[in-house]
Structure formats: C-alpha cells, structure tokens
Chain A
C-alpha cells in the first residue's frame, strides 16, 4: 500500500485521497475551517497548511504522494497557523463574550487548540450590519471568515445560490442573492444545508441561541482536534 510520512509517522492512502483526508482517516489531526467532507476542497482558509518537500501546501487540496515527507504538527507550522487565526480575528468583529456560537465556534476552538492568547495585530473593526429580516435565521456578518461553505452548500447541495462573496481586499464581504439584499427575500429555509454549515457564528437559527448553556457546548470540555477525529472515525 502507498504511504507518506506525516511528522515521521507512516500514513497509508488510496489514490485520489488528499493529505488531509488520509491523515484524518489514520487518526492524525490537521486543522481546517473551509474544508468539508461533502464538498470539494476550497483551499481558502489555509489552516491546513503543511510543509511537503520543503514547500508550503494546503493539505486539503494536495493529493497524497507515495514516499512524501510532510510536516504538520511542528512548532513552525503551528506558529504559522496561530498567525492565520490572529489575522482572521482582527479582520472581522469576533466578540466572543456576546456571541451565541461561543463554545461551538470552530474559529474560537482553533484559537484554544493553538493557544492563541492575543489577536496581536491591529483590529480592522469593519462595519458589517446584521440581517435579521428572515423569520427563522439571523445573519451576523461581523463574524464571517469568507470560507464560502454557505456559498458552496447553497449552490452545490441546496441548488439555490443564496450567498456570494463580493468586493475585494478589506471590502470583501458576504452578500445575499436578492435584489433587496435581504435574506427574507430569498427561498432560504432553516433546514437548508447552507443554514447548518457555518463554522463560526454568521448563520444562526433564531430562538435556540442558548438552549445549550455556555459550558456544555461542543468545545467547552474537549479540544477541536479530539472532537474532529472522533466525528470522522
């Protein structure tokens, strides 16, 4: 069987598997925010960055190669991941104490995983008004990390194309595909795949925010690495 070395450990793989898929199948965690098992790789969040043959590559989008030597869980790569997380935190308005996703948020959980104590950089404090027009779902754009999971799920799974990214650089933002720009004026429902795929706290079902209290949520007691490997095994 073909195999590559991940931090010195042999990882078996089948043709067509990416580094990330093979690593997780073998019980080794590589972090991600924009990757989802039901969708093609997107390679935008760069949390899954690994070093293969001395080059930085996205583990979610790079096919596993026989005999390759891959570095992932090293101080160097984890330090770079912490830097990416810090940039994501200052780019949006991530105010955990008032967020109802706190404890279930993958961005926050990765902050804990990689022991991010400070956002380090200068905050952008962007102006991103919320959209509360839909009867069942609230959109809080402040927390968007541009992973496009909702864009892709709505287009490729729900067949609705409710979301899109627009603008460039600091002006990049998530928009709703309606003439009014309001979620209420689309055929979006709370049962859409796109409504249940946001890794952070942008797409929130109304009236259920604190049904599970803070302290009893997905990542309150366990690390996201443990939780992810458990889910995928």
Chain B
C-alpha cells in the first residue's frame, strides 16, 4: 500500500498599504524556499500574479488599510483564507502610512497635489478608477478578524520561516528571543 501524498497547503499573499519589504523579507528565507514549495503552493500573490484569491489555507497580509480597494481585498482574503496572518508592522499597527492619521486627509492631498513647490495648476486626482483613500489608515485587525500577527519592519526571514514552519506543523506559532522585533 502506498501512503497518500499529503495535499499541499494553499497560500495567498498580498501587499495593501505596504512597501513590499515584508514580501522581500519572505524571499529572504533563501534556500528554505525549496523546502517550502514542497509543502505549499501559491494562490493569489505578487509572486504568481494571480489577480483574485481563491479558497486558501493561509493568507499573508502585508500593509495596513488606507483605501477602499484595500478594504475590498482584505475582506476577500478573510472570506477565502482559513488562517489570516498580519505580516509586518504596517499590517499589525498601521505603520508608516498611519503616520498621516493626525492630519486631515484633504490637507494631506492639497499639500501634495496643489501646494507642493514646483506644482502648477495642480489638482487632486479624481479619476473614478482610483480607489478612494480612507480618512485614517488602519491596521488590518481593525477591519477583519485576524488569526496571527508577525510584527517587525520587516519581520526577519528567520522569523517568517519559524512562524510558518510552526503553523504548517500544527504547533502554536511562537516568536521568542531575537525573532520578536517591532522595528
């Protein structure tokens, strides 16, 4: 009798209001990537360029929520992913984009598109294709339920590897010692 090959876990990733630094750090697990692709396959991700997320086991979200499209994508991930993980400082706390939260949104837009030195006849972009910015940038747990959090700007490759291997092996993921960092 042959033992059945275990089904590969399906993983989706996305960057909302993020800088893709967490995705770069994910790639920093280097040769562990070879071990990882034996255990998982990618669904929607910047690595596959698949545009819509399907049913998945794990969703990794980089970045906070700064506009209506982010809300839409995040909710779609939550609907489709059994386990949703906030990856990095922006997803966990709002991070750098949230530094605009103490300013009014219209002030921010006017400052950048109308009053910045060198801008002539500037106007605030108003194309219907552009997602509307939210008045405040939010960490993802303020919009959907989140199962796990990996802090760090970005979380290190070893931290992401430890977390994922714990999770895939069925252990409660734990970051201790040098792996837990907020900066």
Which A residues are within 8 Å of any B CB, using their own CB? 89, 93-99, 102-103, 108, 111-112, 115, 117-120, 122-123, 125-128, 214, 220-221
Q: Which residues of A contact B138 (CB under 8 A)?
A: 123
Q: Is the CB of A221 within 8 A of B89?
A: no
| Distance of A95 Cα from B99 Cα, bound (Å) | 8
Chain B, range 156-178, C-beta contacts under 8 Å to A: 174-176, 178
Question: What are the interface flags for B81-99 relative to A under an 8 Å C-beta threshold, 1 for contact and 0 otherwise?
Answer: 0000010010011111011
Q: Is the CB of B142 within 8 A of A123?
A: yes
| Distance of A214 Cα from B102 Cα, bound (Å) | 27
Given A123-B93, A123-B142, A117:B178 Cβ within 8 A: no
Q: Which segment of B40-48, B110-118, B147-155 sits at the interface?
A: B147-155
Chain A to chain B contacts (Cβ below 8 Å), 17 pairs: A89-B93, A93-B102, A95-B98, A97-B153, A112-B181, A115-B174, A115-B176, A117-B92, A117-B151, A117-B175, A119-B93, A123-B93, A123-B94, A125-B98, A126-B102, A214-B183, A221-B178
Q: Residue B33 at the A interface, CB < 8 A?
A: no
Q: Which residues of A contact B149 (CB under 8 A)?
A: 117-118
Cβ distance A111 to chain B, nearest Cβ, rounded Å: 7
Which B residues are within 8 Å of any A CB, using their own CB? 86, 89, 92-96, 98-99, 101-102, 136, 138-139, 141-142, 146, 148-151, 153, 174-176, 178, 180-183
Q: Is the CB of B96 within 8 A of A97?
A: yes
Q: Is the CB of B102 within 8 A of A125?
A: yes
